[in-house]
Structure 1
């Protein structure tokens, strides 16, 4: 028994040592201003075992900052809780933004992203609406997309009460929310109501990335290949396969992107999604869709959330704001 315990302890020690070395190497690749002491702790593999604790962590409420009001509404069927962030001061015919939170389709909440939502509301003078869409694996595709589309429909039908112009709506999202935003842009176009703009922050677009064995060293911080595999499997209700995925589930699979709204795509060069995001931007351009692509050297996934004061992250977010302002 003692021998087995010693072997187990030795195995754990070796595993911890390998993880330490791998983390040191990953951090060494990061731009110094983007390094954060929390990175080793937030680089956690998402799995059935870790999901309950991660979901609790992702329910934290952030502050939207000054100059905005935040109220909670319920829309759609099944009922979806949404946050409505409105700039202070009564106005009508404001532009609006449908903002979709990240979290791999399996975790996350709108209140965790109130810092960005508040900024968009203030700087654009826009009403920002963010749904607490249903999560996988309990609610696989198309639940999250249906909730997002129901929220968009509610915004249009209640434009007067919200004080918005129903013809001046953009969609934005980060990570999984970016993938949802791309899907919303596609489906809205197909249903005859094209949006003004789409802003995709390091979006989760292509399930086939899971099947790529050569990630070129990307995805070592925050969002890993293992988490990506678990998330896509949960969202699709099955393991990804090269042959197919349901329409709108993986927006990068769509061939004809013509007629979609002008896009802004931002991603870091250390991000697991770098390849699929660059490819989607190139496909948009090839289909005649204006697309501004921002790639940030030595930036990992969601770095703007962990290094908010870094100048490169300020420039990154301001680029999104400028894109939306130009089209709203």
Structure 2
């Protein structure tokens, strides 16, 4: 099917990107300006801003509690934004929908961003918050069972990297990894995956933009050959948590996500790959108000319940 008409109509209204180098400060301000006021957001039982005191330092987190139950499973969520954009605010609606649809508590992580924070600062923050959740489980109301990591785009990169790093360190509390159109290979040779050419232009994220958007992270010391930077390059995927990998038909990053899912299955990991027709990169963040894309949250609920 073609690009969803609602997405195509929205993309047609966007101005051409400004020429010259990217300005992280201005781009962040632009994103924040589109955050809806609190009274227009999906209501939940409780939403609380906390500071996680971790081995990585003090990390801001936002905790979403869907109901008055004494304990819940927990999803630790890492927002996307090419490692230099995004915040607790810009992805607040995603975290709210995750909590509401799954019935699990969501801990959204305000990790440090490139270029101000060099690699591996952001990854360290995400990894440390997962351990903090396990350590503070009783205080947070964690049920001691489900502890999932989830993320969209670059946040999906962090979710996969955190799951792998935890496995290597013998930390076995992570039960699931949920990757929404993840950025898993930061080597941007356009011949590596057919989707980089098939979906190069006209669908929102463009292949030519991948290098400049990720340059802040790579220039801060992230090596694309490192499996913690490009999780699809990890040679051995055995022993990793069950995975839900969501991809978008018209996303340049589609094929690397689907390759990761296949490699997980080949390594004996229970991995589900779900491609959303008509969707482009970023559809969970930007277009989950469309019913067929909001379904990603109920799919996530069913995945968590089934494992």
Q: Which residue of 1 aligns with 2:63?
A: 84
- 2:19 & 2:177 partners in 1: Cα distance? 28
Q: Within the alignment, does 1:218 sit opposite 2:196 as a pair?
A: no
1:97 is aligned to 75
Q: What TM-score results when the alignment is normalised by the length of structure 2?
A: 0.87
Contact in 1 for aligned 2:238/2:264 (Cα 8 Å): yes
Whether 1:309 aligns to 2:285 is no
1:273 corresponds to 2:253: yes
Q: Is the 8 A contact 1:45 1:226 kept in 2?
A: no
Among residues 281, 300, 304, which one is paired with 1:320 in the alignment?
300
- Determine if the alignment matches structure 1 residue 231 to structure 2 residue 210: no
Alignment partners' CA distance in 2, 1:284 and 1:47:
40
| CA distance 1:272–1:239, change in 2 (3 Å) | farther
Cα offset, 1:287, TM superposition? 0.4
2:93 maps to 1:138? no
Give the Cα separation in 2 of the matches to 1:317 and 1:46: 36
TM-score, normalised by the number of residues in structure 1: 0.82
Question: Using a 3 Å threshold, how does the CA distance of structure 1 residues 45 and 265 change in structure 2: closer, same or farther?
Answer: farther
Shift of 1:199: 0.7
| Structure 2 gap segments, 5+ residues each | none
Structure with bigger gyration radius = 1
Q: Where does the alignment leave 5 or more consecutive residues of structure 1 unmatched?
A: 1-27
- The corresponding residue for 1:71 is 48
- Structure 2 residue 28 is matched with structure 1 residue 55: yes
1:259-280 deviation line (CA, Å, top 9, x unaligned)? 1111011111210101111111
The secondary structure found in structure 1 opposite 2:118 is coil
Compared with structure 1, are the counterparts of its residues 58 and 321 closer, same or farther at alpha carbon in structure 2 (3 Å cutoff)? farther
Tell me the C-alpha RMSD between the 2 structures.
2.5
Q: Relative to total residues, which structure has the larger helix share, 1 or 2?
A: 1
Q: How many residues align?
A: 296
- SS of the equivalent of 2:146 reads strand
Partner SS for 1:129 = strand
1:292 equivalent to 2:272? Answer yes
